[in-house]
Structure 1
Amino acid sequence: MPSTTSKTRTTAGAYWKGAADGAPFILVVVPFAMLFGVLATESGLNVLETLAFSAVVFAGAAQFTALQLMQEHAPTAVVLASALAVNLRVAMYSASLTPWIGAAPLWQRAIAAYFTVDQSYACSVAQFEKEPQMSVPQRMAYFSGVLTPIVPLWYISTVIGALVGTQIPEAWALDFALPITFLALVAPMLRTAAHVIAALVGITVSLLTATAPYSLGLIIAGTLGMMAGAQAEVWLTRRRLAHD
């Protein structure tokens, strides 16, 4: 059996390795997108508006957050601020990916910026760290491969959800996809004490602020979690240097 490294020695090999790594996410992307389609139409959006929402934003958690706040008739500023707060992690994803694919052509980086989501980031960083000898074209090919089984099904499933709407039985419990997706993505990435501290602070604060109006507790929890993680990283680095 060929080794994992041998599968990514060519651009084509890196692409197909990425597609294979992204394929398991189909199990959660499909119900996740269908659920968004259902909720969007229940909120008054038509099929075209729902698809446009998904295509323009292309960020599941932010879409659900904005949709929920729109249902609560929250002020537009709060809707935008909350959606941006949820997507702040993508800015960190971009910063983390820059050392790996920052040398790619501008048009490739522009496309990658749009398609930088939890799945493409988590798989790509794990792969790039495992095989740092991959060239930039191979890394871009892998990144694209991860998205290949995910993106078309995201759009298609959104439309299906919008079309069938309330005809989907509640017993299907499509909302299971949201927590499972994030658990699958986040758990393997809690590799340092700083990561764990950030997660614990975020979870604790989000529970304490669960009753905040317009889901503002999410912004507070995310901000404090990132601050705690960054401070913990600084403190741990200083401690390591002091012991060297």
Structure 2
Amino acid sequence: MVCRLRIARLKQGSGEVFVKNWPGLPGLQERQWFADGAKAIAPATVAVGLWGFVTGVAMVKAGLTQYEAIVMSLVVYAGSAQLTALPLIMSGTPVWLIFLAGMMVNIRFVIFGAAMFPYFRSLSWPRRLWAGFFNGDLVFVIFMKRFGDDPVKGSSEQRWFYGGAAATTWFGWQLPSIAGIFLGATVPESWSLDFAATLALLAIVVPLVTTRPMVIAVTVASVVAWFGQLLPLRLGLVAAVLAAVAAGVMAEQYGTRRKSR
């Protein structure tokens, strides 16, 4: 079968470069945008991988079989929800309550989705659903840092950048998670991997906090999460997210009003 070649014209300086691509495959420019997203989030995969490994170990130590743990990792793909669900599953909690707990812990993704909707508005509902499934905390932060102030929402560059960041994070989570599932029985409790993962995550997040509203939001989230540790179903995390969003929005509005005076 003879495959046609598609020629993509790219302007580079004063000249033109012609690049031949197989039909149906992304062009050179799309691949570059995808690579940009992967590179932007690559440093964060250290923290993501540690959390994935910790979650894999936790699933096995909680009593799940390796097969069950792998299915949970691939289908749920949400560390906080998985860690919340594990003790509930092991204690025989009703399924509806397990789902409710997972939804409450991940309610922040409703906020993420609302913020990112303008960038994916023109996509079909199934494609938006897939984009939401592969979203993550760090993917959202890095994407909004790059494109949050863009006047045009929904460009090809934004979507390919998101795809590169999301794909890198997915592999950066799943591979260590599966490794943790198979190695979980050999990992001693004294290693304190969850604490190491927290430190790695802080090392990634702290440099991203560069504005006053972000500092206020992070501070409020930390305080509320600390005092909410004893709440059931990890509701302290939900309260921290909602309080941080409210504090950040109010701080940004206050700053905007001050500048307009």
Name the TM tier (shorter chain). Answer: 0.7 to 0.9
Measured in 1, the distance between the counterparts of 2:177 and 2:216 equals: 35
Structure 1, unmatched stretches of 5+, are: 3-8
Q: TM-score scaled by structure 1?
A: 0.78
**2:225 is matched by which residue type in structure 1?**
S
> Is the CA contact 1:50–1:158 (under 8 Å) kept in the aligned structure 2?
no
Show the 5 A alignment for 1:1-244.
Answer: 10-70=29-89, 79-129=98-148, 136-170=155-189, 172-175=191-194, 176-181=196-201, 184-185=204-205, 188-189=208-209, 191-193=211-213, 195-233=214-252, 239-240=257-258, 244=261
Measured in 2, the distance between the counterparts of 1:192 and 1:72 equals: 43
Structure 1 residues 29 and 217: alpha-carbon distance in aligned structure 2, compared to 1, 3 A threshold: closer
2:15 corresponds to: none
1:5 corresponds to: none
1:6 corresponds to: none
User: 34-43 or 114-123, which moves further after superposition?
Assistant: 114-123
The structure whose Rg is larger is 2
> Is the CA contact 2:108–2:238 (under 8 Å) kept in the aligned structure 1?
no
Measured in 1, the distance between the counterparts of 2:254 and 2:92 equals: 42
Structure 1 residues 192 and 82: alpha-carbon distance in aligned structure 2, compared to 1, 3 A threshold: farther
Of structures 1 and 2, the one scoring higher in RCO (CA 8 A, sep 6+) is 1
What per-residue deviation string (whole Å, max 9, x for no partner) do you get for residues 140-168 of structure 1? Answer: 11111112332134222222211111212
Measured in 1, the distance between the counterparts of 2:258 and 2:102 equals: 37
Count of matched residue pairs: 234
Bigger fraction of residues in strand? 2
Bigger fraction of residues in helix? 1
Measured in 2, the distance between the counterparts of 1:95 and 1:67 equals: 28
Structure 2, unmatched stretches of 5+, are: 1-11, 13-27
Q: TM-score scaled by structure 2?
A: 0.74
